[in-house]
Amino acid sequence: MSGPAIRVRGLRYTYPDGHVALDGIDLDIADGERVALLGPNGAGKTTLMLHLNGVLRASAGDVEIGGTVLSRSTLRDIRRRVGLVFQDPDDQLFMPTLAQDVAFGPANFGVRGAELDARVAHALAVVSMTELAGRSPAHMSGGQRRRAALATVLACEPEVLVLDEPSANLDPVARRELAETLSGLDATMLIVTHDLPYAAQLCRRAIVMDGGVIVADGAIDDVLSDTALLAAHRLELPWGFTVGLR
């Protein structure tokens, strides 16, 4: 890998209605970092996420993944290297069985035979779902479906994982299980979340976005301790949560 895992320069995106969702984003994330992306609704977080593997195309600026500039000619390679895990598992689970869902991504990138089987087996093992390989995701719990969606991305062996609200709507046990799974992964991670304690549990750095720009970037304990910053951007720690005690 040449350079940061993620490098963004001057990224700007305007929606067809004229709304400027990203207004000149500059960002570096080092290889192996786990970074929380925080901010109120409408801040531009999901829009930024969708630029990192070319789901959206920038109005201006550049995205680089491991030194490779995202372009038409590199799009397929970037999509293999950057895995997006969406908030709704239904966006990623659509095959009759879990094993088929997990195989779909790498097969689409040309993986076949024994290597494909090995990828599926490894991804399911990482998320502790080997015994559910033959089950329909439609018959799984919310926490299982969230881990199943993660497995579909891990099977592609991405260098970068981008997760959108991974803890949303999970019960405490499923929330803990997913956090343990994510903590054990080596990939660079960008975690988009409103769940500030979850961000503190998984990440050591936090970026705050609002109005399409980055308004803060630093150690997560420093960011979460800045009550004025949080209040100014409609972020709030839950009652009883103490920064630094986790």
The pLDDT of 162-184, averaged and rounded, is 90
Instruction: Select from 2.40.50.140, 3.30.420.40, 3.40.50.300, 3.20.20.140 the CATH code of 6-232.
Output: 3.40.50.300
Phi, psi torsion values for 176, nearest 5 degrees: -65, -45
The pLDDT of 110-129, averaged and rounded, is 95
CA atoms within 13 A on the CB side of 46: 10
How many residues in total does the chain contain? 246
Does the pLDDT value for residue 30 go beyond 90?
yes
Does the pLDDT value for residue 90 go beyond 80?
yes
> Can you read off the two tokens belonging to residue 179?
């956090």
Does the pLDDT value for residue 174 go beyond 90?
no
What share of the chain in percent tops pLDDT 90? 86
Please state, as a whole number, how many other Cβ atoms lie within 10 Å of the Cβ of residue 228.
Answer: 7
Does the pLDDT value for residue 167 go beyond 60?
yes
8 A C-beta contact, residue 186 and residue 157: no
Alpha carbon 88 to chain centroid, angstroms: 12
34-38 and 205-210 strand pairing: parallel
Please state, as a whole number, how many other Cβ atoms lie within 10 Å of the Cβ of residue 232.
Answer: 14
pLDDT of amino acid 169? 86
The pLDDT of 208-234, averaged and rounded, is 96
pLDDT class of 75 with cuts at 50, 70, 90: very high
| Residues with Cβ within 8 Å of residue 55, at least 6 apart in sequence | 84
- CA distances 99 to 19, 116, 136, 208, Å, are 40, 11, 9, 37
pLDDT class of 159 with cuts at 50, 70, 90: very high
Q: Assign residue 149 a region: left if phi > 0, alpha if psi is -120 to 50, beta otherwise?
A: alpha
pLDDT class of 239 with cuts at 50, 70, 90: confident
Closest CA to 166 of 188, 184, 186, 181: 181
The pLDDT of 143-165, averaged and rounded, is 94
pLDDT of amino acid 2? 59
pLDDT of amino acid 240? 76
8 A C-beta contact, residue 98 and residue 148: yes
CA atoms within 13 A on the CB side of 227: 4
8 A C-beta contact, residue 47 and residue 210: no
| Residues with Cβ within 8 Å of residue 104, at least 6 apart in sequence | 95, 152
pLDDT of amino acid 186? 87
Domain coordinates in residue numbering, the chain: 6-232
For residue range 198-215, list pLDDT tens digits in order: 999 999 999 999 999 999
* DSSP category for residue 116: H
The pLDDT of 94-118, averaged and rounded, is 95
Does the pLDDT value for residue 243 go beyond 90?
no
Which residues are 8's β-sheet partners? Answer: 27, 63
